[in-house]
Chain A
Amino acid sequence: MMNEVTNSVVEALPQFQGYVYPNEANFHPVWSTLIVVYPYITGLVAGAFIMASLVRVFDVKALAPVYRLSMLTALAFLLCATLPLLCHLGHPERCYEIMMTPHMTSPMAIFGFVYAWYLMAVLLLELWFDYRQDFVKWSKTTAGFKGFLYRVLTLGVTDVSEKSVRLDMKMEWILSIVGIPSAFLLHGYVGFIFGSIKANPWWGNVLMPIMFILSAIVSGIALCVFNYIVLNWIRRRPLDMRCLDAMAMFLFYALVMDAVVEGLDVLHRGYAAEEGFAVLQTMIHEKLFYTLNIGQVGVGTLVPLLLLGLLQVLPRRVPEATRRVMIFCSGAMILLGVLMMRWNVVMGGQFFSKSFRGVMSYKMEFAGQEGWLISAVIMCLPFIILTVLVKLFLSERLQPCEHVLEKSSKA
């Protein structure tokens, strides 16, 4: 009798291959699409910022036209970076505890401070110093709400003497230099959230933060390429091909580095073949076949490498229109590929049991707290914010002050 009862109950439960711990025998992994989106957005922030820093710190003249766009992109995405985390919490109303009683050994608690530091001490500050002179100018020439906004954003400082503007530029330079390690820290920490989980062989890996930083740079540059092309297409303005080629070059080199490190990771895992390697192999061959082998490696890495590499080898032979399409397509494919990479990391780590004896299935929900609808909304939000930011701070009607243009052409 007992056996019959047990058997019927067992059959009613979702089927899993092999053995998984009873607490893992759940169709809904505790971290779902929201946690896929979270490192993706954070990575885009870090990447876009590093791309912008190339102008300020390394004095890359060709990239000056996208400096402000990349900074605003970074800001728009940073404002949404904590949203997926917040939505995913069981008790979002208790989120203040992370800042009030941060547990210093937890990567997630430190992330709160790294985030606050990066948002307020780096990104907003650098933007403020960059825009201060323009705010003063625009607040005088613009009427209505916009003018009021610019006046508030000056924080009441109207000094635009040469000495003071020179100080602004100096501060910007310092902030960029501080900003690069901060951007590395921001996204390195996200990688560390996964890399520090020693219980999970798919995550617990010293290379994880480095892979996250490199893929962040790649995705950030790709996003800037994407935004730059789309913005100029909407405004019906010609693209600055020198700038676009420079971005494509940096994108190519970043992608090479990223591909090498990720390849090294795969090689190391295969060579060391530690405990649980067999279950990781099933993951690669079955569970993650499409998103990993085709999405991340094929579409996200190999094809863009080929396209961008071709542009590096034959820089002037390809006609401009073709080049534009090739760069745009590689950018879009890289953006998709990096999203797949985040999926593979986050979901891949939850598709197998920590007993290494079985794998779980996952049915993606549409609605609900862990459904993909809310993730899609969160993914769209930064673009909406960016539109507003571009309307306010990158308007065609409001010309920036001389010094910025001067500097960008001189620098």
Chain B
Amino acid sequence: MHRFKLPPQILRLILVAMAIVGSYLVARSFLVPPSFGEYGWYRGDALKLIAARDPVFAGKQACDECHSDILHKLAKDAHKTLSCEGCHGVSREHCDNPDILPVKATGSHCIRCHEANLARPAWLKQIVVKDHYGPKCTECHLPHQPTQSP
């Protein structure tokens, strides 16, 4: 009986090809991260990695723990939508250690929003600073209760 025999060069190439594919598969089993494919075509651990970062802004709720009186006043007036850290700066350190004082808010914080600019919506109260009294806002306006005067 005539047995079919692979030509030597083809056989050799098949062996080489198998070695290449085999080493690829071995490398793949080693180098694919364990959590890959947990939710989709990515590392599931990446979610934890990205979430692990420490927040910088403490958030209004954190301020409420000690300064609920101010927040209470704030909530009743036009500035109720403002965040404490928008004017007082990042307060994470102050939360952990009340001795580290946050930045003192100044008139420039008022001007940041209330300086007249044509692109600003009309409902927002705007002033032209140089025609107004000047940047000493707090002499006439209470920042936490802007509709009231001191």
Contacts and interface: CB of A to CB of B under 8 A. Distances in A.
A157 B8 contact: yes
A213 to B, nearest CB: 28
A125 B13 contact: yes
Contacts of B9: 129, 132, 155, 157, 159, 164, 167-168
B43 to A, nearest CB: 9
Nearest to A129: B9
Majority SS at the chain B contact face:
helix
A100 B27 contact: yes
Interface residues of A, number: 20
B108 A1 contact: yes
B133 interface: no
Interface string A148-189: 000000011101000010011000000000000000000000
Contacts of A23: none
Interface in B1-19: 7-10, 12-13, 16
A69 to B, nearest CB: 24
Nearest to B15: A155
B19 to A, nearest CB: 11
A115 to B, nearest CB: 14
B24 A164 contact: no
Contact of A164 (B8, B28, B31, B112): B8
A175 to B, nearest CB: 11
A272 interface: no
A168 B12 CA distance: 13
A120 B23 CA distance: 15
Nearest to B33: A101
B36 interface: yes
B133 to A, nearest CB: 16
B20 A101 contact: no
Given A96-B31, A100-B31, A101-B36, A2 B7 contact: no
B27 A156 contact: no
A226 B134 CA distance: 76
A140 interface: no
B32 interface: yes
Residue in A157, A159, A167 whose Cβ sees the most chain B Cβ within 10 Å: A157
A205 B1 CA distance: 60
Interface in B72-112: 108, 111-112
A168 B111 CA distance: 83
Residue in B10, B13, B36, B111 whose Cβ sees the most chain A Cβ within 10 Å: B13
B31 A2 contact: no
Interface string A69-110: 000000000000000000000000000110111010000000
A2 B7 CA distance: 82
A99 B20 CA distance: 13
Nearest to B31: A100
B39 interface: no
Contacts of A164: 7-9
B41 interface: yes
A99 B7 contact: no
Interface in B105-150: 108, 111-112, 115, 135
Given A157-B12, A159-B7, 7 more contacts: A96-B27, A99-B24, A99-B28, A100-B28, A125-B13, A157-B8, A157-B9
6 contacts: A1-B135, A2-B108, A96-B31, A100-B31, A101-B41, A125-B13
8 closest Cβ pairs, A-B complex: A157-B9, A100-B31, A157-B8, A155-B12, A159-B8, A157-B12, A100-B32, A100-B28
